[in-house]
Amino acid sequence: MKKVYHRIIQISGNVITVEAEDVPYNSLAEVATGGRVSLAQVIRLDRRRVSLQVFAGSRGISTDSEVRFLGRPMQVSASPDVLGRIFTGSGSPRDRGPRLRDDLIDIGGPSVNPARRIIPRRMIRTGIPMIDVFNSLVESQKLPIFSIPGEPYNALLARIAMQAEVDVIVIGGMGLKHDDYLFFRNTLDAHGALARSVMFIHTAADPVVECLLVPDMALAVAESFAIGGKRVLVLLTDMTNFADALKEIAVTMEQIPSNRGYPGDLYTQLAARYEKAVDFEGAGSITILAVTTMPGDDVTHPVPDNTGYITEGQYYLSGGRIDPFGSLSRLKQQVNGRTRNDHRAVMDNMIRLYADYRETREKLAMGFRMSGWDRKLLQYGERFEARMMDLSVNIPLEEALDLGWQTLAECFQPAETGIKSDLVAEYWPGGTEAATAKDGNGTTPA
Amino acid sequence: MDDGEHDGTFGMTTERKLGEVVGVNGNMVTVAFDRHVIQNEMAYVVVGETRLKAEVIRVRGEVADLQVFESSAGARVGDKVEFTGELLSVMLGPGLLTQVYDGLQNPLPELARQAGFFLRRGLYVTPLDEARPWEFTPAVKPGDSVCAGAAVGTVPEGIFRHRIMVPFGWPGHWRVTWVAAAGAYPITAAVARVSDGREERAVTMVQRWPVRVPVTAYREKLLPVETLVTQQRIVDTFFPVAKGGTFCTPGPFGAGKTVLQHALSRYSEADVVIVAACGERAGEVVEILREYPELEDPRTGRKLIDRTIIICNTSSMPVAAREASIYTSVTLAEYYRQMGLNVLLLADSTSRWAQALREMSGRLEEIPGEEAFPAYLESLIAGFYERGGLVRLHSGETGSITIGGAVSPAGGNFEEPVTQATLKVVGCFLGLSRDRANARRYPAVHPLDSWSKYPSLSDADDLAFARRILQRGHEVDQMMKVVGEEGTPLADFALYLKSEFLDAVYLQQNTFDAIDGATSAARQKASFRRVVDVLRTPFLFADKDEARSFFQRLRQLFTDANYLPMDGEKYQALDRQTAEFLTAAKKEA
């Protein structure tokens, strides 16, 4: 195979076409233009015409630029040295560290055999009550954080990264503002979490093709650590930028768009990434949390819509809090029966009462008179928001459950909570006497 | 092509036809060939050491476009292509039940044994164990006349006597010239020989059938009328599915499509259940894979997995194989139907299949239809559902395939092409609603929007009455949103409470509860009758609070009963308590 070609016959968008022979599909090439070298990937073969997607973009490429075929697919280093390092979407160091050339693995590897998957069974504690108590995160789960632009989703991700009980954190940033990138780096550094993290960062100023590589790079490294027995948490932000990059490339490639300009394989493309979340029997696991910003707060927009069909629930970030109604962890039932015996009861009843509080708030806003029950709910709702929903709250699950009981006891009679009496006897602050003494008039209001 | 006159090979040639790759675009490979090729013929693209399965999907002049069933990474212009002369086919024989296949009928556990955690490209495994002996009992004797689909004998396969049939593609009548004695044989051994006067052929326990061609070795198609009991109250009573009928369950994400499909696969009174996990989460299949070998099937006393076949081509598996997996599943269903069994095929989700079609259509640069789906989407969807049905076999027995397809409409909007094309051809529509799911009213089948053209288990008058209550209750509810509870007349309010009562104690069902999750036909009839009795009773209330607390109490009594076994003492006691409560209320009235 001749390696170097000099005649580029077409340049269109980020795609160049060169006449060459014996080039493997999906393999890489280096395109050299006036001293600058960029990677490119073969995306189409048509007899002698080879179309390549240039990662750094086609700007400045001349028709006699040098194209050197490498004959191998995109690879990333999965050596332990990646920990503490920061890379670009194409795998070049973004920090001042050396380029890594050990333990190179192909990105975008094959799918896990469904027959080798197991039912998820371990909870990941985050110290955030809205997650731990109400929508537990489970190892091997894939969950998006649905959010509108402006919400503190990156702050939330950074907090989860610092607090989650995992061995390795892989952060994939797509279309990240440079400020956000610095925020991630500085926060992890300040909390000593950088040493167990690896970051692949594509900023908004970088070439769009590199954005497409970020999830694959991050997940390939994660997979390698997981097979080595590590519990890996992958944080991706923002998958809507990834989808928009897909759209941009697809339109450049003159593909027929399906819905609002997105390519017809958007679902498959997203699923290929999210389905990397897995629990390897006898080895480690990959858990994925991915920010998906919803343009116009519209959950039916193609990106959140397709994501919702793929993922196992979602955290819905709204008004600076994780909204208890829009959020759902489909896997929580697998774990919250085995944490503490009051976990499910506290979860269900606190949420139900909080829903009642929301209704009362509406009545209040419409000027209806407040009953005694309404006033109890108002008191409860305010405390619930301050103690549970505020994102700065950082307490272990058990403490959060205790705080839940305390909040209930401050606001209600035991029977008004709707919690089974044996649990009330066990957990009600002040003991059973306090609970039963009040039981006389404790009817549950409608 | 229309009367089942196939031998399954479609002009297989002994000489090997070769081609050469001239272009690669995603999983579409363009191949130059020198002799003839057959549309939908299987081929292998030789990439280095691996041979990748592919299918001819378009021929133009000297080149054919092939969809490769795996990643085409590494393929080069000039790579060799071997054409097989055979259409994409599945292997049919004893041993299919309990299996977990990918879309091309590779057994996934065996792939895992050979390749570990990940699927390995180019690794294909024979679908059936060719070494395992089966205990054959002949059903014919030399001199008997047989035709395609007729049983020459049986082997025991779990719960059934699995029929060994004359291959479905053999045309005309055949005379048995020899049949094997009772005894154990592997599937590839000849168990009978038949002759049509011109040639003699050997019948083995296994035959191949091209998946895209319907099996038509039956006498006639019949009208499906008998209800397939699914033990889901809202389905069997309100929107029933007939044996041999078709239904669809469209719904937005989070509305409980998969939970409903799982409930149907667990509790339906079908002989064989085929679950086609088509382009959805792998995690959902894992629950079936891990739980069904443990769960008991109350109808047979065996494990649920014994009547189940899983075709699993989840979202991250190759997209072309996803497209094929739907046809693989329905072909397996047809095979068991030919044995006179009632088969339930659940496809989750047909939207992912349609998307696979769309991806390929895009690569072929076909002129797109609505939302870029190919223009032929409707006819393919219709063709798929039409492979369901109730048939009379040549033996006079009946067999059926009931097809249930989940649909995942973009944005939860039913006005999209896949849902609309599906609604045209199915006999029952179970529309899942996000509002009902958000209100935790499961199964979230919408009681006013859904419909069924099949007969219900319950009395038609009762049903019409219950429907009217639901409709009127909904209207009152809408009105109350404007005028408030205060502005609603007491009679209307009572009507609204009745419809809420019906919803809570009958339409909603807790699928995770062993008793409430599965309501038998007899129990549904009894229980529906009692609910309708309440609906028909004109209660008189002093005020709305009294009405509300009355129905709250009644609801509690009925809900509690739903969770108790019908023959138990507790149920009897509760039953008496309910009767007393109602009698007291009527007296007051």
- B414-466 pLDDT, tens digit per residue, is 999 999 999 999 999 999 998 888 777 889 999 999 999 999 989 999 999 99
Contact B425, B383 (CB under 8 A): no
Contact B340, B398 (CB under 8 A): yes
Query: B438 vs A325: CB contact, 8 Å cut-off?
Result: yes
| Residue intervals in chain A for CATH 2.40.10.170 | 4-73
| 3-state SS string for chain A | CCCEECCEEEEECCEEEEECCCCCCCCEEEEEECCEEEEEEEEEEECCEEEEEECCCCCCCCCCCEEEECCCCCEEECCHHHCCCEECCCCCECCCCCCCCCCEEECCCCCECHHHCCCCCCEECCCCHHHHCCCCEECCCEEEEEECCCCCHHHHHHHHHHHCCCCEEEEEEEEECHHHHHHHHHHHHHCCCHHHEEEEEEECCCCHHHHHHHHHHHHHHHHHHHHCCCEEEEEEECHHHHHHHHHHHHHHCCCCEEECCEECCHHHHHHHHHCCCEECCCCCEEEEEEEEECHHHCCCCHHHHHHHHHCCEEEEEECCEECCCCCEECCHHHHCCCCCCCHHHHHHHHHHHHHHHHHHHHHHHCCCCCCHHHHHHHHHHHHHHHHHHCCCCCCCHHHHHHHHHHHHHHHCCHHHHCCCHHHHHHHCCCHHHHHHHCHHHCCCCC
CATH number of A4-73: 2.40.10.170
Query: A272 vs B316: CB contact, 8 Å cut-off?
Result: yes
Chain B CB within 8 Å of residue A312 CB: yes
Contact A109, A73 (CB under 8 A): no
Confidence of residue B16 (pLDDT cuts 50, 70, 90): confident
The one-letter amino acid at A368: F
Mean pLDDT, rounded, for A69-90: 94
The SS3 call for residue B208 is strand
The alpha-carbon radius of gyration of chain B (Å, integer) is: 27
Phi–psi pair at B325, nearest 5 degrees:
-60, -30
B85-108 residues labelled b (16+ CB within 10 A) or e (exposed) = bbbbbbbbbbbbbbbbbbbbbbbb
Residue B275, beta-bridge partner list: B310, B346
Give CA–CA dist B412/B404, Å, rounded. 18
Confidence of residue B8 (pLDDT cuts 50, 70, 90): very low
Across chain B, mean pLDDT equals: 92
Query: B358 vs A272: CB contact, 8 Å cut-off?
Result: no
Please tell me the predicted confidence (pLDDT) of residue B480. Answer: 82
Residue B338, pLDDT > 60, answer yes
Residue of higher predicted confidence among B256 and B168: B168
Residue B290, pLDDT > 50, answer yes
Distances (CA, A) of B449 to B5, B371, B414, B445: 42, 24, 11, 9
Mean pLDDT, rounded, for A420-436: 76
Q: How many CB atoms lie within 10 A of CB B301?
A: 9
Enter the pTM of the model.
0.91
Which of A276, A305, A328 lies nearest to residue B410, judging by beta carbons?
A: A305
Query: B100 vs A115: CB contact, 8 Å cut-off?
Result: yes
Q: How far is A204 from chain B (nearest CA, A)?
A: 28
Confidence of residue A398 (pLDDT cuts 50, 70, 90): very high
The one-letter amino acid at B2: D
Contact A66, A74 (CB under 8 A): no
Mean pLDDT, rounded, for B372-388: 95
% of residues, chain B, pLDDT over 90: 78
Confidence of residue A444 (pLDDT cuts 50, 70, 90): very low
What residues of chain B lie within 8 A of the CB of A276, using their CB? Answer: 316
What residues of chain A lie within 8 A of the CB of B52, using their CB? Answer: none
Cβ neighbours for A219, distance < 8 A, ≥ 6 positions apart: A107, A170, A172, A234, A273, A276, A286, A288
Distances (CA, A) of A265 to A257, B47, B323, B348, B449: 9, 25, 13, 18, 31
Residue in chain B closest to A298 (alpha carbons) equals: B411
Contact B43, B84 (CB under 8 A): yes
Residue in the block written with tokens 């599945």: B90
Confidence of residue B15 (pLDDT cuts 50, 70, 90): low
Please tell me the predicted confidence (pLDDT) of residue B106. Answer: 96
Mutate which: B49, B60, B259, B315, vs A, most A CBs within 10 A: B315
Residue in chain A closest to B370 (alpha carbons) equals: A258
What pLDDT digit, counting tens, does each position of A143-186 carry?
999 998 889 999 999 999 888 889 999 999 999 999 999 999 99
Phi–psi pair at B276, nearest 5 degrees:
-105, 100
Distances (CA, A) of A392 to A236, A305, A322, B231: 21, 29, 12, 47
Residue B7, pLDDT > 70, answer no
Mutate which: A249, A258, A347, vs B, most B CBs within 10 A: A258
Chain A / chain B CB contacts < 8 angstroms: 174
Total count of residues recorded for chain A: 446
Confidence of residue A440 (pLDDT cuts 50, 70, 90): very low
What pLDDT digit, counting tens, does each position of B142-157 carry?
999 999 999 999 999 9
What pLDDT digit, counting tens, does each position of A24-48 carry?
999 999 999 888 888 999 999 999 9
Residue in chain B closest to A117 (alpha carbons) equals: B286
Phi-psi region of B278 (alpha: psi -120 to 50; beta: other; left: phi over 0): beta
Residue B379, pLDDT > 50, answer yes
Residue A101, pLDDT > 60, answer yes
Confidence of residue B12 (pLDDT cuts 50, 70, 90): very low
What residues of chain B lie within 8 A of the CB of A117, using their CB? Answer: 282-283, 285-286, 289
The one-letter amino acid at B224: P
Residue A435, pLDDT > 60, answer no
Please tell me the predicted confidence (pLDDT) of residue A10. Answer: 93
Q: How far is A183 from chain B (nearest CA, A)?
A: 33
Mean pLDDT, rounded, for B24-40: 92
What residues of chain B lie within 8 A of the CB of A301, using their CB? Answer: 411
What pLDDT digit, counting tens, does each position of A107-145 carry?
998 999 999 999 998 999 999 999 999 999 999 999 999
Q: How far is B365 from chain A (nearest CA, A)?
A: 8
Contact B26, A53 (CB under 8 A): no
Query: B112 vs A308: CB contact, 8 Å cut-off?
Result: no
Please tell me the predicted confidence (pLDDT) of residue A427. Answer: 93
Please tell me the predicted confidence (pLDDT) of residue A12. Answer: 87
What pLDDT digit, counting tens, does each position of B547-557 carry?
988 998 898 89
Could you tell me the fold of the domain covering A76-335? Rossmann fold (3.40.50)
Residue A315, pLDDT > 50, answer yes
Query: A272 vs B315: CB contact, 8 Å cut-off?
Result: yes
Confidence of residue B481 (pLDDT cuts 50, 70, 90): confident
Please tell me the predicted confidence (pLDDT) of residue B362. Answer: 87
Residue of higher predicted confidence among B238 and B13: B238
Please tell me the predicted confidence (pLDDT) of residue B118. Answer: 95
Give CA–CA dist B316/A286, Å, rounded. 15
Closest CA to B362 of B352, B374, B350, B353: B374
Residue A368, pLDDT > 80, answer no
Quick one: A337 exposed, middle or buried, by C-beta within 10 A (0-12, 13-18, 19+)?
Answer: exposed
Which of A47, A264, A300 lies nearest to residue B411, judging by beta carbons?
A: A300
Chain B CB within 8 Å of residue A113 CB: yes
Please tell me the predicted confidence (pLDDT) of residue B589. Answer: 55
Query: B73 vs A73: CB contact, 8 Å cut-off?
Result: yes
Residue A213, pLDDT > 90, answer yes
Contact B21, B77 (CB under 8 A): yes
Look up the ipTM and state it: 0.87
Residue B490, pLDDT > 60, answer yes
Query: A275 vs B281: CB contact, 8 Å cut-off?
Result: yes
Cβ neighbours for A103, distance < 8 A, ≥ 6 positions apart: A77, A78, A79, A224
Residue A144, beta-bridge partner list: A290
What residues of chain A lie within 8 A of the CB of B285, using their CB? Answer: 114, 117
Contact A188, A158 (CB under 8 A): yes
Closest CA to B352 of B400, B311, B386, B391: B311
Distances (CA, A) of A158 to A67, A181, A192, A311: 40, 11, 12, 21
Secondary element (H or E) of residue B194:
strand B190-195
DSSP class of residue B238?
I
Give CA–CA dist A80/A102, Å, rounded. 9
Mutate which: B262, B316, B435, vs A, most A CBs within 10 A: B316
Mean pLDDT, rounded, for A53-62: 88
Per mean pLDDT, which range of A83-87, B269-273, B436-440 is the poorest?
B436-440
Phi–psi pair at B278, nearest 5 degrees:
-110, 100
Two structure tokens written together for A231: 């519990």
Give CA–CA dist B493/B487, Å, rounded. 10
What pLDDT digit, counting tens, does each position of B82-140 carry?
999 999 999 999 999 999 999 999 999 999 999 999 999 999 999 999 999 999 999 99
Confidence of residue B588 (pLDDT cuts 50, 70, 90): low
Query: B112 vs A115: CB contact, 8 Å cut-off?
Result: yes
Residue of higher predicted confidence among A437 and A172: A172
What residues of chain A lie within 8 A of the CB of B74, using their CB? Answer: 24-27, 73
Please tell me the predicted confidence (pLDDT) of residue A434. Answer: 53
Mutate which: A15, A45, A297, vs B, most B CBs within 10 A: A45
Phi–psi pair at B252, nearest 5 degrees:
-70, 170
Closest CA to B187 of B212, B208, B213, B210: B208
Please tell me the predicted confidence (pLDDT) of residue B132. Answer: 95
Please tell me the predicted confidence (pLDDT) of residue B284. Answer: 87
Q: Compute the C-alpha angle A199/A204/A209, nearest 5°.
A: 80
Which of A256, A259, A325 lies nearest to residue B410, judging by beta carbons?
A: A259
Please tell me the predicted confidence (pLDDT) of residue A438. Answer: 46
Helix runs in B450-502, H state only: 460-483, 490-502
| Residue intervals in chain A for CATH 3.40.50.12240 | 76-335
Please tell me the predicted confidence (pLDDT) of residue A57. Answer: 85
DSSP secondary structure letters along B83-137 = EEEEESEEEESTT-TT-EE-TT--BHHHHHHHHTTB--TT----SS-SS-EEEEE
Across chain A, mean pLDDT equals: 90
Query: B408 vs A117: CB contact, 8 Å cut-off?
Result: no
% of residues, chain A, pLDDT over 70: 96
What residues of chain A lie within 8 A of the CB of B116, using their CB? Answer: 113, 116
Give CA–CA dist B193/B269, Å, rounded. 37
Please tell me the predicted confidence (pLDDT) of residue A433. Answer: 59
Q: How far is A430 from chain B (nearest CA, A)?
A: 31
Please tell me the predicted confidence (pLDDT) of residue B417. Answer: 95
Q: How far is A247 from chain B (nearest CA, A)?
A: 14
Query: B286 vs A117: CB contact, 8 Å cut-off?
Result: yes
Which of B73, B368, B548 lies nearest to residue A25, judging by beta carbons?
A: B73
